[in-house]
Amino acid sequence: MGTRGDAGSAATLRSLPAVHELAGALDAPHALAVAAARRAIDEHRAAIRAGAAAPEDLLARARELLAEMERGSLRRVINATGVILHTNLGRAPLPAVAREAVLRAAEGYSNLELDLERGERGSRIAHVEELLCELTGAEAAIVVNNGAGAVLLAAAALAGPGRGIVVARGQLVEIGGGFRIPEVIAESGARLVEVGTTNRTRIADYIRALEAHDDIGAIMRVHQSNFRTVGFVEEVPVEALCELGVPVIDDVGSGWLASQPGLIEEEPVIGASVAAGAALVCCSGDKLLGGPQAGLIVGRRDAVAAARRHPLARALRIDKLSLAALEATLRLYRDPERAAREIPVLAMLAIDEETLAERAARLAAAIGPRASVSRASAKAGGGSLPLLELEGPVVALEGDPDALARALRAHDPPVIARIHDGRVLLDPRTLGDDELELVAAAARGALDSG
């Protein structure tokens, strides 16, 4: 026998409008209106059956759902975390000139693979190869769609099916997203030859491996981009590896061009590996280089030619929008002072304490009495410079940290903060001057809501 509550729930369920009736009240294309109406009714029905509070205004809820459906999934967010190369937020923000270059390339057709002078088919890599060679001292260059793709192509081109690639055990790292160097080498068709130990590898280890195997295609050196081994450690510099008579693939990771000498001493410089004689030097375009997602390969002419000829080169090729952004970013590096000013990643790394303090004070004042200036450490992020601590002023919010962070994410545009020691922190290092008022408005709304 049912209860009065059951009877009431049944009556409420029967009173729900039909999908077509609710959809008819929405100002939207039919299919979209039906989808929003169905979701609103389904939510309402599930809440009633669960005994939970259902939205009082079903039409208003349908309109909210419709707005969510009409809004694109990939959205601009404001990075207040202090993590400069935040992988979840797209890593490096592009310089203004790169954004403009993307717009031009997207507006219509382009000479992506057309030689305008000869009127014949050209190479998309030609748009950046000369620049890369100029900036790194390499003889040739090729660009693919990401850093992992660059390492995969390099391994496949220089070793390929059945041949060995020598790697120190301390460099068999996971480079992000579950991709591990042994798996990348396996996918290239090459055979992994491990040498040394986790913490110490000497030149003699490489020599013994070369003597024991007559089918070694390359030696691969992998920079510990996202961690460091300290203490009782030893590794062989790239210069010594290049003297062993076998092609060297140097995965330097973050793409540091040393546009600001002295700022970062621990990061390997692309040009230094080229000068040492590495056959191929690989790195990402969207980390310390400060450009779009891309995988850069520079080095000897014969080695780059082998990479160009490999079938993977087409499968991994870079698209026109990323290529336009990369070219514009690389052009900035011709003037190191301009690069330091206009490439956001470089500017965030080098920003001075006075500017940060002024931003933090403005932000806290705009939020109100429940915001205060404190201190914390920002990070490079993105698998770069794991030991670097960028200590500076931040704005801390009073209140339930989880609720505040959730409310900030619900703002338009969403504001992504970080929680540290039970407080929500807003870091001015990763905020532009034009974003401070947007963040302040989002913080005021989050504090008022709860």
Domains belonging to the chain, first-starting first, are 4-70 (no CATH), 78-88+347-449 (3.90.1150.110), 96-342 (3.40.640.10)
pLDDT of residue 261: 56
Angle at 96 between CA 90 and CA 99, to 5 degrees: 60
280 by DSSP, 3-state: which? strand
- So what's the pLDDT on residue 4? 45
Residue 1's pLDDT is 42
Which of these, 327, 329, 308, lies nearest to 317 by C-alpha position? 308
The predicted pLDDT at position 84 comes to: 95
pLDDT digits (tens, 9 = 90+) for 225-257: 666 677 677 899 999 999 999 999 999 988 888
Per-residue model confidence as pLDDT tens digits over 367-394: 999 999 999 999 888 777 777 789 999 9
pTM: 0.89
Contact 150, 114 (CB under 8 A): no
b/e per residue 271-301 (b: at least 16 CB within 10 A): bbbbebbbbbbbbbbbbbbbbbbbbbbbbbe
The DSSP secondary-structure symbol of 1 reads -
**Longest CA–CA separation in the chain, Å:** 88
pLDDT < 50 stretches in the chain:
1-2, 4
Q: Note the pLDDT of residue 15.
A: 78
What pLDDT is recorded for position 80? 97
